[in-house]
A and B are shown apart, each in its own frame.
Chain A
Amino acid sequence: MSTKLPLLLVLLAAAVLGGDGKGTRLDSAARAEAQVVVAPQLTAAILKGTCGFNAVSTDVVRLSPAFLHPAASFGTLQFDGVSAVTGTVTINASGKVVTPAPATGSYSVNATDGRTGTIDFSASGGAIYTFVIVNAGAAIRYINTGPVDPKTGIVDAVTIATCKF
């Protein structure tokens, strides 16, 4: 018998016994599908670049119960990776389409949780937003949380939006 025969037998055994490629691959796939990534602690630096958003909002008009003034908007938010943000937007406000001048503001990420933060356009007459970073920094989801109207004592709209880089 040739000295090559043991080698062939070893190869054959490996192919038959160790070759459960199906099970191994499915197990790996199942693990990948079921995996949920633990959120990292993020800083303002993660928000660098331009994301595109769309938003929907409803004006709060407590004295006008029948008409809640819906609005939809889309545009961009450009973050500098430090603390400055510039926004462009087109708004369909109750059927009237407007494109205000670009707004500049500031943003920050809460050091306590590394996930939530604030965008503040109030210095240029705009809104204040509270956001949460999702998808490892590939998107933010946010609502408006200010400013409070001194006349009504409330924020005059309820807005919800997503901005994706």
Chain B
Amino acid sequence: MTNKRLFPILAVLVLMAAGDRGWAQSSDAVVSQPQFTTASLNGVCGFTVASTNVNPSSGSFLEPRADVGTLSFNGAGAVSLAGTENKNGTIQPLSATGTYSVGGDGRTGTITFTSGDQGQFQFEVVNQGATLRFMNTGPVDPTLGIVKEVLLGVCQF
């Protein structure tokens, strides 16, 4: 094969390869959902929480509470909490340790504090992993059959 005949073939192949890469970049420009795992949460975020106690026997008095502090995730399922709370006017420290995991959907997960100030939470990873938004989901009081508090929080790395 002569050089003159081979060159156009090579040129076409190079253009095809380059063109395929261009198409791939174009289609991938659509932002996909970020997928996170338990390992993705590795570091310290600062949180605030607003909550209200649920007191069925006293329907009109709901005791507000606010918390501030940090959550430290180790990237392997362990989490610790340190903070301060204003519980209906009484200031006291917060401390807890527990476990966490990110679910198979890569966006939501759970935190369970098994020692210290115990509680169960569900969270969602947002803002490309820079923020967790969470609420409490437990424990259920065996006497009342309900979670005794309604809590909403944000934790930012």
Contact = CB atoms under 8 A, between A and B. Distances in A.
Interface of A: 1-2, 4-5, 8-9, 11-12, 15-16, 19, 21-22, 25-26, 29-30, 32-39, 56, 58, 60, 62, 65-66, 68, 113, 115-116, 130-135, 139, 141-146, 148, 152, 154-162
B10 A115 contact: no
Interface string B22-53: 00110010001011110011111111111000
Interface string B54-67: 00001011101111
Contacts of A152: 89
Interface in B1-38: 3, 6-7, 10, 13-14, 17-18, 21, 24-25, 28, 32, 34-37
Contacts of B84: 116, 130, 143, 145
A162 B66 CA distance: 13
Contact of A133 (B24, B46, B65): B46
Nearest to B2: A1
B120 interface: no
Given A33-B129, A134-B157, A144-B86, A15 B17 contact: yes
A65 to B, nearest CB: 4
B147 interface: no
A135 to B, nearest CB: 5
